[in-house]
Amino acid sequence: MINIPKGTKDVLPQESYKWHYIEETVRTVAKDFSVNEIRTPTFEHTELFLRGVGDTTDIVNKEMYTFEDKGGRSITLKPEGTAGVARAFIENSLYGAAQPTKMYYITPVFRYEKPQAGRLREHHQFGIEYYGAESASADVEVILLAKTIFDRLGVGKLKLNINSIGCPECRKKYNTALREYLGTKLDVMCETCRERFDKNPLRILDCKEEKCKAVTDGAPSVIDYLCDDCSAHHEHVCAQLTACGVDFVINPRIVRGLDYYTRTVFEFVSENIGAQGTVCGGGRYNGLVEQVGGKPCPAVGFGMGIERLIMVLESLELNVGKPYTPDVYIAPLCDKAREITPSIALKLRAAGIVTDYDIMDRGFKPQLKYANKINAKYLVIIGDDEIACGKATVKDMESGQQRSADIGALADHIQQLQSK
Ligand code: ATP
Ligand code: MG
């Protein structure tokens, strides 16, 4: 027996409706915000992520699914959605079109992580990418899009954390201050943080280890090191969110895992799904397009974990959609009925009636049992008697009431019943 690879999950037919529900909701919200979808390949040249995500990140250092293809090229399965979009933006000269370029994606994401609740090796993200807009309004619009999705799904309770990590100039000053503060405390921090100290000290603020958290509690706050422009940008973001009535907290610990962020960073966090509570993370990444070979172009966006979102909805017992159930189940009871059943089903389906019928050549009782099990609304019975008089028996499965209806006019009959 060959098992599923560690950290991956099947979405079974009895639960795929949850995915449809989420996907439909996010697509509708994207449409309402006038954003179109972009689809990029599941794999890219490894170089793209080395340059785009950054070689001091956990993703590039430890988590990528990289392999050599038969042509000897180094290929990597998408460890996040943004770098591929940036490549497509440059390669297809989308910067030549009227700006901004607003895009969304729904994609599988592959990371070699330690599997645990809310942490998989293949997960899925809905993401937003706004290119070409430098203003605080773009940051706010992106945050509002995420917030609208949560509101539509009924999850009002997520906490929105916001921070600004400034531009490379502010970061240089801040990193010096941070190193000064952390320098004497290295021996009580975890090994990863000791490595981060030289390469990317900002990431130490993101460490989940209690001992490191205790150390960073008293660390200087990046907001205090912002240059005038970055500080004004941050204030505009906060003011606009406040004007929209969006609750948020400024959290100096939010730094995001990827190297490409500048200025605004944010996370929506749930308290209901355990330690991996971040459902959506994003921010501004003005340096990314240039970093992967394009002309400088400001950008802002987010990634939302669909598996974690489903976990949140389920933990709060919120609506997660419902599976398809047939309006009609046709039970043919003789050979002649079996002969005509498929064409009857096609007519009903053409009229928009969800129709199923027996393909197991079973007798009446097991068919009835099955129709009950799949929650069919109406059972249409066709046996010798029905064929002889050209009328089928239509049974309302809930009330048990039975009627007789012309086989040739079944669609009309069912539609009339449904409109009652
Ligand atoms: P975390 O801090 O949880 O590791 P991250 O900063 O690595 O998250 P991002 O790269 O910003 O996450 O990805 C965006 C979203 O994708 C996350 O907020 C989360 O909802 C989801 N996500 C990230 N990694 C995983 C994973 N391994 N399994 C399931 N969902 C994930
Ligand atoms: Mg991570």
Q: Are residues 287 and 380 in the same domain?
A: no
Q: pLDDT-derived band of residue 416, with 50, 70 and 90 as boundaries?
A: very high
Task: State the closest ligand 1 atom to the C-alpha of 268, by its place in the atom list counted from 1.
Answer: 18
Q: How confident is the model over 19-41, as a mean pLDDT?
A: 98
Q: How confident is the model over 52-80, as a mean pLDDT?
A: 93
Q: Are residues 153 and 52 in the same domain?
A: yes
Q: Is the dihedral of CA 249, 252, 258, 259 positive or negative?
A: positive
For residues 70 and 210, the model is more confident at 70
Kindly state whether residue 26 falls inside one of the protein's structural domains.
yes
Kindly state whether residue 290 falls inside one of the protein's structural domains.
yes
Could you tell me the distance, in angstroms and rounded to a whole number, from the CA of residue 257 to the centre of ligand 2?
7
Could you tell me the distance, in angstroms and rounded to a whole number, from the CA of residue 113 to the centre of ligand 1?
11
CATH of the domain at 291: 3.30.930.10
Q: Return the structure tokens found at 186.
A: 């290295």
Is 287 a pocket residue for ligand 1 (Cβ < 6 Å)? no
Q: How many CA atoms lie within 13 A of 82 on its CB side?
A: 30
User: Which of 315, 345, 372 is the last residue before a domain boundary?
Assistant: 315
Rounded-to-integer distance, Cα 335 and Cα 333, Å: 7
**Closest ligand, as measured to the CA of 285:** 1
Could you tell me the distance, in angstroms and rounded to a whole number, from the CA of residue 259 to the centre of ligand 2?
13
Q: Are residues 303 and 338 in the same domain?
A: no
Is 307 a pocket residue for ligand 1 (Cβ < 6 Å)? yes
Kindly state whether residue 154 falls inside one of the protein's structural domains.
yes
Sequence letter at residue 312: V
Rounded-to-integer distance, Cα 107 and Cα 123, Å: 8
Q: Are residues 295 and 410 in the same domain?
A: no
> 145 is in which domain, residue-wise?
16-167+227-315
Rounded-to-integer distance, Cα 332 and Cα 349, Å: 17
Q: Are 279 and 308 in contact (CB under 8 A)?
A: yes
Kindly state whether residue 8 falls inside one of the protein's structural domains.
no
Could you tell me the distance, in angstroms and rounded to a whole number, from the CA of residue 128 to the centre of ligand 2?
18
Q: What tens digit of pLDDT does each residue of 317-346 get?
A: 999 999 999 999 999 999 999 999 999 999
Q: How confident is the model over 191-213, as a mean pLDDT?
A: 89
Q: Are residues 299 and 233 in the same domain?
A: yes
Predicted confidence (pLDDT) at residue 79 exceeds the cutoff of 90: yes
Kindly state whether residue 373 falls inside one of the protein's structural domains.
yes
Rounded-to-integer distance, Cα 254 and Cα 132, Å: 24
Q: pLDDT-derived band of residue 294, with 50, 70 and 90 as boundaries?
A: very high
* Best residue for ligand 1 mutational test, from 61, 276, 288, 313 (most atoms within 8 Å of Cβ): 276
Q: Model's pTM, two decimal places? A: 0.94
Q: Are residues 156 and 291 in the same domain?
A: yes
Is 276 a pocket residue for ligand 1 (Cβ < 6 Å)? yes
Q: How confident is the model over 128-149, as a mean pLDDT?
A: 98
CATH of the domain at 337: 3.40.50.800
Q: Are residues 364 and 286 in the same domain?
A: no
Could you tell me the distance, in angstroms and rounded to a whole number, from the CA of residue 6 to the centre of ligand 2?
17
User: Which of 315, 346, 379 is the last residue before a domain boundary?
Assistant: 315
Kindly state whether residue 120 falls inside one of the protein's structural domains.
yes
Task: State the closest ligand 1 atom to the C-alpha of 118, by its place in the atom list counted from 1.
Answer: 29
Could you tell me the distance, in angstroms and rounded to a whole number, from the CA of residue 303 to the centre of ligand 2?
12
How many domains is the chain built from? Answer: 2
Q: Are residues 155 and 273 in the same domain?
A: yes
Q: Are residues 299 and 339 in the same domain?
A: no
Please count the other Cβ atoms lying within 10 Å of the Cβ belonging to residue 113: 16
Instruction: Give pLDDT, residue 289.
Output: 95
Average pLDDT, the chain: 95
For residues 166 and 196, the model is more confident at 166
Q: pLDDT-derived band of residue 397, with 50, 70 and 90 as boundaries?
A: very high
Is 281 a pocket residue for ligand 1 (Cβ < 6 Å)? yes
3-state SS track over the chain? CCCCCCCCCCCCCCCHHHHHHHHHHHHHHHHHCCCEECCCCCEEEHHHHHHHCCCCCHHHHHHCCEEECCCCCEEEECCCCHHHHHHHHHHCCHHHCCCCEEEEEEEEEECCCCCECCECCEEEEEEEEEECCCCHHHHHHHHHHHHHHHHHHCCCCCEEEEEECCCHHHHHHHHHHHHHHHHHHHHHCCHHHHHHHHHCHHHHHHCCCHHHHHHHCCCCCHHHHCCHHHHHHHHHHHHHHHHCCCCCEECCCCCCCCCCCEEEEEEEECCCCCCCCEEEEEEECCCHHHHCCCCCCCEEEEEEEHHHHHHHHHHCCCCCCCCCCCCEEEEECCHHHHHHHHHHHHHHHHCCCCEEECCCCCCHHHHHHHHHHCCCCEEEEECHHHHHHCEEEEEECCCCCEEEEEHHHHHHHHHHHHHC
Give pairs for 191-200: CB < 8 Å, separation 24+: 196/56, 199/56, 200/56, 200/57, 200/259
Could you tell me the distance, in angstroms and rounded to a whole number, from the CA of residue 35 to the centre of ligand 1?
23
Q: Return the structure tokens found at 100.
A: 């901004």
Q: pLDDT-derived band of residue 156, with 50, 70 and 90 as boundaries?
A: confident
Kindly state whether residue 199 falls inside one of the protein's structural domains.
no
Predicted confidence (pLDDT) at residue 196 exceeds the cutoff of 90: no
Is 308 a pocket residue for ligand 1 (Cβ < 6 Å)? yes
Could you tell me the distance, in angstroms and rounded to a whole number, from the CA of residue 287 to the centre of ligand 1?
21
Q: How confident is the model over 111-127, as a mean pLDDT?
A: 96
Nearest CA to ligand 1 atom 13: 303
Of 14-23, 50-59, 79-88, 291-300, the least confident: 50-59
Nearest CA to ligand 1 atom 25: 119
Kindly state whether residue 383 falls inside one of the protein's structural domains.
yes
Q: What tens digit of pLDDT does each residue of 239-287 get?
A: 999 999 999 999 998 988 666 789 999 999 999 888 889 999 999 999 9
**Closest ligand, as measured to the CA of 82:** 1
Task: State the closest ligand 1 atom to the C-alpha of 256, by its place in the atom list counted from 1.
Answer: 6
From residue 75, give the alpha-carbon distance in Å to each of 62, 215, 244, 329, 343.
15, 39, 43, 48, 49
Instruction: Give pLDDT, residue 257.
Output: 64
Predicted confidence (pLDDT) at residue 55 exceeds the cutoff of 90: no
* Best residue for ligand 1 mutational test, from 53, 165, 267, 278 (most atoms within 8 Å of Cβ): 278
**Closest ligand, as measured to the CA of 282:** 1
Could you tell me the distance, in angstroms and rounded to a whole number, from the CA of residue 123 to the centre of ligand 1?
9
Length of the chain counted residue by residue = 420
Is 312 a pocket residue for ligand 1 (Cβ < 6 Å)? no
Is 305 a pocket residue for ligand 1 (Cβ < 6 Å)? yes
Q: Are residues 309 and 334 in the same domain?
A: no
Q: Are residues 24 and 67 in the same domain?
A: yes
Q: Are residues 345 and 311 in the same domain?
A: no
User: Which of 290, 315, 340 is the last residue before a domain boundary?
Assistant: 315
Instruction: Give pLDDT, residue 259.
Output: 67
